[in-house]
Amino acid sequence: MTDALLPAEFADLEPWAATWCLPTEPQRWERRLNTSMEEMRAFYDAFFPRAEEAIIWCDRFPLDDMPADAERLLQLLHSLLMVSYAVEVWKQPEVINGGSARIDRILEPRP
Amino acid sequence: MGRFRKPAEGTWTEHYPELGTGPISFEDSVSPEFYELERDAIFRRAWLYAGRAEQLPRNGSYFTVNLPGLRTSVIVTRDKEGQVRAFHNVCRHRGNKLLWEGTPRDAISGNARQFVCKYHGWRYGLDGACTYIHQENEFFGLRKDAIGLAPIHCDTWAGFIFVNLSAVPDQTLRDYLGTMVGALEGYPFDRMTERYSFRAENNSNWKVFIDAFQEYYHVPPLHTHQLGPTPEAQNPEYEFEAAHYQLDGPHRMVSTSGTHKHTWPAEHLYPAEALTRSGSTGPWEAPDVGGPLPGVNPSGIKRWGIDNFQVFPNLEILIYERNWYVTYRYWPTSHNTHVFEGDLYFVPARNARERLAHEYAALTFKEYGLQDCGTLDGTQMGLEQGAFTEFPLNDQEILVRHFHKTVGAWVDAYVREWERGSTP
């Protein structure tokens, strides 16, 4: 597969890569709020069992010099954590009792 | 019988008898007139936290800080000699905002040899001196070497850069910070340079949000989910008790035992917490930052978790036992709105695993912070409704009591001076 986004070892996660390989928290946050729980649960269920393996894979590279596919795998892990709050904690995309509040992340380390 | 020993007087509040134990008014949080007074009585007199020294890594580094409610923008820069200076971000010529990109409302940072006004091209050195006036000979008796930017008092403590908008500050920064906050000097803040920054525009008085973050009494009922995935863990009737409270002048602090989630059994953890070894709140591994750590856990509690220093008027420094810290700032923009800024600081991640632990901590901050922010609307509405004029506070809310008393004292002192004609 020439257009693979993730390392070959994680080819089974390719269906999620185009949607969830997002480099910034504001992008991941918007995606979470605009995705159904059914879809987020499917992503979570598919990825969570392999998450530890993915972390070990990413840890083979220094953070400031990651191959593009490993960096996208790390972005996918970031999205898994973003989705985990909806799946594990709130059982809905939005924070319970968050009202109309919004908190914007305006600076963050990369990747 | 509580879990922690209280002072000999029986309660923390009575340990500080000047606080009283009666109900208090929150009129200071709903009154437009009081807000106008606060701006001059507090924000134009107190030392205000502007940013970290790491934001000025080189000579010539600068950043701007916008204080919207004060109609003030400040340039903070490290000049050619390495001295940190602050100026009003206003051109001496016709008052144009000097440094901005995007829109004049946006704060910026960068590196410069000089500051150039976009409007008529006047230039200033990093020391604020005017170095170039376009068509200087067209002016009338104006010489560039006699003018410059308007300086603002500026000093640095423990890498925290403060500014003071008064003509002559009543106290030096160190005297102002006092012994309790001052004892943190030497804490390795400078090792914790990986930063996550957050900003929120909230529909409440600035003090209403500070109040939410200077008591933990609200945590079990409001943040029920934070305690874990099981019904047993999510006990809204859990009785929270802080280990230690301390007041020092206008400043206050509370030490708590934190959650120490790394010691919890697996069934009380969310799967993502177990995966990242992070939450609630913060990473479970403590990076080596040397030691001993000055100023923290001043009462020496055994199972120390978090210190929450409330530096008057609007800075909160949260220091976690796992060697990371957080700052909050609250900038009033009207009597019932404010801008909240939160910054999380970690020892830089060395690998993806550590980065993900930091990321989960940053997520946790936002998820539960949204519950706090979301509740604010309702608190402000409730206070403005005027159904009640006095409100009971318990012993775990001693810092709320002290804060409003301090705010009132600063405003009263200002009004008295104004009435005597001694306020400029």
pTM of the complete model:
0.96
Whether B352 sits inside 8 A of A58 (CB atoms) is yes
The SS3 of residue B277 is coil
| Chain-centre distance for alpha carbon B165 | 17
Per residue in B301-334, pLDDT (tens digit) is 999 999 999 999 999 999 999 999 999 999 999 9
Whether B356 sits inside 8 A of A55 (CB atoms) is yes
- Please report the pLDDT score of residue B1 as a whole number: 46
| Chain-centre distance for alpha carbon B12 | 24
Does any CB of chain B come closer than 8 Å to the CB of residue A88?
yes
Does any CB of chain B come closer than 8 Å to the CB of residue A23?
no
pLDDT(B123) > 90 = yes
pLDDT(B2) > 50 = yes
Give the residue from A10, A91, A108 with the most B CB atoms within 10 Å of its CB, the best one to mutate: A108
Per residue in B174-188, pLDDT (tens digit) is 999 999 999 999 999
Cα end-to-end distance, chain A, whole Å: 25
CA nearest A29 in B: which residue? B363
Whether A95 sits inside 8 A of B356 (CB atoms) is no
Mean pLDDT calculated for residue range B7-30: 98
pLDDT(B423) > 70 = no
- Please report the pLDDT score of residue A2 as a whole number: 60
| Cβ atoms of B43 and B69 closer than 8 Å | yes
Closest approach of chain A CAs to the CA of B41, in angstroms?
Answer: 29
Mean pLDDT calculated for residue range B81-86: 97
Name the least confident of B166-170, B261-265, B304-308.
B261-265
CA nearest B378 in A: which residue? A99
Across the strands, what pairs with B73? Answer: B66
Per residue in A83-93, pLDDT (tens digit) is 999 999 999 99
A7 within domain boundaries:
no
What is the total count of domains within chain A?
A: 1
Confidence of residue B226 (pLDDT cuts 50, 70, 90): confident
- Please report the pLDDT score of residue B262 as a whole number: 87
Give the domain range for residue A62. Answer: 13-90
Whether A100 sits inside 8 A of B374 (CB atoms) is yes
A-B contacts at Cβ under 8 angstroms: 120
CATH number of B12-43+179-420: 3.90.380.10
A98 within domain boundaries:
no
pLDDT(B14) > 70 = yes
Rounded to whole angstroms, the Cα distance separating B67 from B77 reads 17
Whether A81 sits inside 8 A of B276 (CB atoms) is yes
Domains B12-43+179-420 and B48-164 share a fold: no
| ipTM field | 0.98
- Please report the pLDDT score of residue B280 as a whole number: 84
Does any CB of chain A come closer than 8 Å to the CB of residue B195?
yes
Cα–Cα distances (Å) from B383 to B29, B269, B416, in that order, read 8, 37, 27
Q: Which CATH superfamily is domain B48-164 in?
A: Rieske [2Fe-2S] iron-sulphur domain (2.102.10.10)
Closest approach of chain B CAs to the CA of A3, in angstroms?
Answer: 24
Angle at B397 between CA B396 and CA B401, to 5 degrees: 145
Q: Write out chain B residues lying below 8 Å of A51, CB-based.
A: 275
Rounded to whole angstroms, the Cα distance separating A84 from A87 reads 5
pLDDT(B291) > 90 = no
Q: Which two tokens stand for residue B315?
A: 């800075």
Residue bearing tokens 């009207």: B334
Mean pLDDT calculated for residue range B378-382: 96
Whether A97 sits inside 8 A of B222 (CB atoms) is yes
Whether B370 sits inside 8 A of A98 (CB atoms) is yes
Confidence of residue B258 (pLDDT cuts 50, 70, 90): confident
DSSP 8-state symbol, A99: T
CA nearest A82 in B: which residue? B363
CA nearest B367 in A: which residue? A95
Mean pLDDT calculated for residue range B57-69: 94
A96 within domain boundaries:
no
Rounded to whole angstroms, the Cα distance separating B63 from B167 reads 22
Whether A89 sits inside 8 A of B270 (CB atoms) is yes
CA nearest A83 in B: which residue? B272
Does any CB of chain A come closer than 8 Å to the CB of residue B233?
no
- Is the pLDDT higher at B392 or at B67? B392
A95 within domain boundaries:
no
Query: Low-confidence residues of chain A, pLDDT below 50?
Result: none
Domain assignments of chain B as residue spans, ordered by start: 12-43+179-420, 48-164
Does any CB of chain B come closer than 8 Å to the CB of residue A80?
yes
A109 within domain boundaries:
no
Instruction: Collect all residues with Cβ–Cβ distance below 8 Å to A54 and sequence separation of at least 6.
Output: A10, A47, A73, A76, A77
Does any CB of chain B come closer than 8 Å to the CB of residue A45?
no
A106 within domain boundaries:
no
CA nearest B369 in A: which residue? A103
- Please report the pLDDT score of residue B234 as a whole number: 77
- The minimal CB distance from A103 to the residues B194, B370, B375 is found for B370
Does any CB of chain A come closer than 8 Å to the CB of residue B229?
yes
